[in-house]
Amino acid sequence: MPETEIVFFLENNKTIPALDWIRGLSTKAQIKCLARIERLGERGHELRRPEVDYLRDGIYELRIGLQGQNYRLLYFFFGDSIAVLSHGLVKERRVPPKEIDNAIERKAQFESDPTTHTYRMEVE
């Protein structure tokens, strides 16, 4: 199975919401998030629960648990081999609809102009 390229959504103002969120976490949480991102790169569309879950409208969540906290990175696929990380959040009971709507909006922006909204980095 081919690897999935992981890219980060880049806002018009040049911020990178998912990466900025990861950088704000504790070191342990960052390590777990990066490990899950690596798994997404290895398995892509084949990754399943409990590591990921489908939310709606093409939006998925990477599921990370650490010391009672539920961390989530929302993402979507672009074509067959690219996963775009939209943003992250700490989840209570479920991912709030406004967070999914935000990811859907970013997906539409990305699809209309992938070059402008792509940030690449090595995640190792």
Q: What is the pLDDT of residue 1?
A: 55
Boundaries of every domain in the chain: 5-119
Whether 75 and 95 have beta carbons less than 8 Å apart is answered as no
Q: Please give the full DSSP string across 47-64, using - where no structure is assigned.
A: --TTTEEEEETTEEEEEE
Q: CB count, 10 Å around CB of 92?
A: 8
CATH number of 5-119: 3.30.2310.20
Q: What is the pLDDT of residue 124?
A: 46
Q: What is the pLDDT of residue 76?
A: 98
Q: What is the pLDDT of residue 93?
A: 83
Q: CB count, 10 Å around CB of 100?
A: 18
Whether 75 and 85 have beta carbons less than 8 Å apart is answered as yes
pLDDT in tens, 66-100: 998 999 999 999 998 999 999 999 988 899 999 99
Q: Report residues of the chain scoring pLDDT below 50.
A: 123-124
Q: What is the pLDDT of residue 122?
A: 59
